[in-house]
Amino acid sequence: MKIATFNVNGITARLPRLLEWLAESAPDVACLQELKTSDETFPLQAIEAAGYGAIWHGQKGFNGVAVLARGQQPVERLRGLPGDPDDTHSRYLEAQVGELIVGALYLPNGNPQPGPKFDYKLKWMQRLHEHAATLVGLDAPVVLAGDYNVVPTDAVRDIYSPKGWQNDALLQPESRQAYQRLLELGFTDALATLHGDAAMYTYWDYFRQRWERNAGLRIDHLLLNAPAAARLKAAEVDRFIRGREKPSDHAPVWVDLG
């Protein structure tokens, strides 16, 4: 079973790239982030024509997450993280596809920091931790997939060079500690587990020729509970999508659970 995550950076603008990728990579489950569209304008017809059922949690202009399933309809389990009834951001959507439980998430960026946006990021990560704790021990395979907006370490596998990024919310000790706490619950970072020290970037800014220079960051992650990790066969980044015309600044990332 191939499970993927892809921050599309605007599903309307990137729909050609998304449809190409679905046809070429053929994930069984795809978690999408940063739809930047309302529920009413989600391109369901095009997604269904590509052979996928879908559920989505839209928000006009920014945020937004979706779960697609090839040849079937995902069953919604949860819309939005528990813990803050006043949080109106569309950042979390949980679904069941067969035996798999998948959480599609778009974690807050947190910039500029310090400040209220960074405070919101950390509070959101705490809510994610509390909810993830209820999922990690399930007998079913669980995958938390999305744009975490966290660079886990300063190692080359996670960032081309930390110089110039030290003040960014993605690299702050508090962000990294919150990410590490998810792993300490019992989740496995699929890319890091299978690729060790190899650079496995998932995001390249549009500016300063960062794609051309491979000046990337690893901020899109798939975290697996023990039943999912026991089935882990492969984990890769579909870099080719980032190099096409009018791409997202992220590339899709996927795992094969055999």
Mean pLDDT of 141-169: 97
Known catalytic membership, residue 106: yes
Q: Which one of 147, 158, 168, 220 is the catalytic residue?
A: 147
pLDDT at 56: 98
- The model's pLDDT over 21-53, given as tens digits with 9 standing for 90+, comes to 999 999 999 999 999 999 999 999 999 999 999
Residues 6+ apart with CB under 8 A from 248: 6, 7, 8, 9, 10, 14, 17, 241, 242
Cβ(155)–Cβ(218) below 8 Å: no
CA distances from 83 to 26, 67, 129 (A): 35, 22, 11
Phi then psi for residue 83, to 5 deg, are 110, -15
Share of the chain above pLDDT 90, in %: 99
pLDDT band at 150 (very low <50, low <70, confident <90, very high): very high
Phi then psi for residue 107, to 5 deg, are -75, 145
Model-level pTM? Answer: 0.97
How far apart CA 17 and CA 227 sit, in angstroms, is: 32
- The model's pLDDT over 92-117, given as tens digits with 9 standing for 90+, comes to 999 999 999 999 999 999 999 999 99
Q: Which one of 52, 106, 179, 201 is the catalytic residue?
A: 106
pLDDT at 15: 98
- The model's pLDDT over 118-137, given as tens digits with 9 standing for 90+, comes to 999 999 999 999 999 999 99
- The model's pLDDT over 60-96, given as tens digits with 9 standing for 90+, comes to 999 999 999 999 999 999 999 999 999 999 999 999 9
DSSP strands (E only) in 71-219: 75-79, 92-97, 100-106, 142-147, 188-189
Cβ(120)–Cβ(84) below 8 Å: no
- The model's pLDDT over 170-224, given as tens digits with 9 standing for 90+, comes to 999 999 999 999 999 999 999 999 999 999 999 999 999 999 999 999 999 999 9
Residue (of 51, 55, 31, 52) closest to 42 by Cα position: 55
Known catalytic membership, residue 147: yes
